[in-house]
Amino acid sequence: MDILTSKQDGVLHIEFNRPDKKNAITAAMYQTMTDALKDADADASVRAILFSGKPQIFTAGNDLEDFLKNPPTSDSAPVFQFLWNLSHATKPIVAAVSGAAVGIGTTLLMHCDLVYAADNAKFSLPFAQLGVCPEAASSLLFPNIVGYQRAAEKLMLGEVFLADEAREMGLVNQVVALDELQAFATQQAAKLVALPASSIRMTKRLMKHNMNVIETQMAEEAKHFRTMLSAPEAKEAFTAFFEKRKPDFKKFA
């Protein structure tokens, strides 16, 4: 299974499990995670959700080959359904990030309540380099978290930033040693499980009072993302990726 899910001691564990492909996410994987989030929301025994990957890779983001074969042409596409359910989850979400977190591997963290990173974690948002635009309402959430100029630098240049910078910017709660990450994140999730479920859910709901704004931004991003995905710039970016060369965008206005 490319996504492993299990329920243990009140925590739904969702683990990226495709290390041979750097945990790149396919449409089927998005659907599995969507179903797991829906199930968790309806299951009173689940009081927290924990996302994790492998020690050397959280996720390389979208599987570009699968993405091109199964492009997200509507809001019903698995990727958009996943993002909707992630952003609307009523229960607290913890993330344990080790290795690379590329694209949606970073933007999904903006919808988590607690984010812990291993000291080998590295983040990147290479949407512009791929000829598309940000998703997951990251064009709204990221500036709110880290400030406009920092968000612009990461979203426009798409350069890698490391765990300590992510913590200093406010994207990550704490950086821990790689061999301690999973146990630490599980312990933090256990703390949430031990607290009154109704209080945790209401606290989260109150902090997400601007959900309508997030929904609007996510829909606007998705509309442009779908259009840009079939534009010449994106085609050049994806072709260059598969041909293992540097893309040439100079011919585009």
| Percent share of the chain, pLDDT over 90 | 88
For 154-188, the pLDDT digits (tens) are: 999 999 999 999 999 999 999 999 999 999 999 99
pLDDT single digits (tens) 183-202:
999 999 999 999 999 999 99
Name the least confident of 3-12, 83-92, 230-239: 230-239
Burial zone of 224 (CB within 10 Å; 0-12 exposed, 13-18 middle, 19+ buried): middle
Please tell me the predicted confidence (pLDDT) of residue 56: 97
Structure tokens, 95 = 């993330």
DSSP secondary structure of 175-222: EE-GGGHHHHHHHHHHHHHHS-HHHHHHHHHHHTTTHHHHHHHHHHHH
**Residue 253: pLDDT above 80?**
no
pLDDT score at 68 = 83
Q: Is the pLDDT of residue 105 over 90?
A: yes
| CA distances, 163 to each of 5, 177, 199, 200 (Å) | 26, 11, 31, 27
- Pairing mode, strands 100-102 and 57-59: parallel
Strand order in the sheet with 57-59: 57-59, 100-102, 122-124, 161-162
- Element containing residue 8 per DSSP (H, E): strand 3-8
Of residues 211 and 225, more confidence is placed in 225
How confident is the model at residue 156, as a pLDDT?
98
Average pLDDT, stretch 89-99? 98
- Cα separation of the two ends of the chain: 43
How do strand 11-16 and strand 161-162 relate by DSSP bridges? unpaired
Give yes or no for residue 93 having a pLDDT over 80.
yes
Per-residue pLDDT tens over the stretch 29-85: 999 999 999 999 999 999 999 999 999 999 999 999 998 888 888 889 999 999 999
pLDDT at 211: 85
pLDDT at residue 203 above 90?
Answer: yes
pLDDT value of residue 73: 84
Average pLDDT, the chain: 95
User: Which of the pair, 229 or 123, is modelled with greater confidence?
Assistant: 123
Tokens at 238, concatenated: 């994806």
Tokens (6 digits) for 46: 């689940």
| Contacts by residues 68-74 (CB-CB < 8 Å, ≥ 24 positions apart) | 68/238, 70/26, 70/27, 71/226, 71/229, 71/230, 72/222, 72/225, 72/226, 72/229, 73/226, 74/226
Q: What domains are defined for the chain?
A: 3-178 (3.90.226.10)
What is the percentage of the chain residues whose pLDDT exceeds 70? 100
Distances, alpha carbon 143 to alpha carbons 5, 48, 147, in Å: 32, 27, 5
DSSP 130: G
- What is the pLDDT at residue 252? 84
| pLDDT tens profile 118-131 | 999 999 999 999 99
Contact yes or no for 98/56 (Cβ under 8 A): yes
φ and ψ at 121, to 5 degrees? -70, 145
CB 85 within 8 Å of CB 49 = no
